[in-house]
Amino acid sequence: MHIGPGCTVCAEVHLTTDITLARHVIVNTGATLSHDVQVDDYVTIAPGATLSGAVRVGEGADLGTRCTAIQGIAIGAWSVVGAGAVLTAAVAPNVTVVGIPAKIIKSRAAGWHLE
C-alpha cells in the first residue's frame, strides 16, 4: 500500500491490498477500495463509494456518494461520477456520468478545470 503526501483517509474506510493513493487524495468516510486500486493525484472519493478490484481513477476525478465501480474499469481524469451511479464500463476523461448503469450527461473540453 502507498499513501502519498497530502492524502486524507477518513474514518471507517476499508482499504485492502495493493492500494495506491497518489498526492492530495481524499477518501471519505465509509468508502471501500478493493485490491489493486490506483488513484491518481487530486481525486475526491465521497462517503460510501465502492471501488472493486483493479480500478484506476484518473487525476482530479470526483466520485459521488455511494457510487460503485465494478472490477477492472478506468475512470478518466477530471471526470465527475454522480451519487449512486454504477460504473459498468470505462468512463472517459472530462465527462459527468450518472445513473444505473452510468451514462454520460455532460462532456467538457480538456482543461475545463483550469478556467
Q: What is the pTM of this model?
A: 0.95
User: Which CATH number describes the domain made up of 2-114?
Assistant: 2.160.10.10
Q: Where are the domains of the chain?
A: 2-114
From the candidates 2, 14, 35, 113, give the one annotated as an active-site residue. 35
- pLDDT tens digits, one per residue of 31-52: 999 999 999 999 999 999 999 9
Instruction: Report the alpha-carbon distance of residue 31 to residue 7 in Å, rounded.
Output: 14
Give catalytic status of residue 2 as yes or no.
no
- pLDDT tens digits, one per residue of 15-36: 999 999 999 999 999 999 999 9
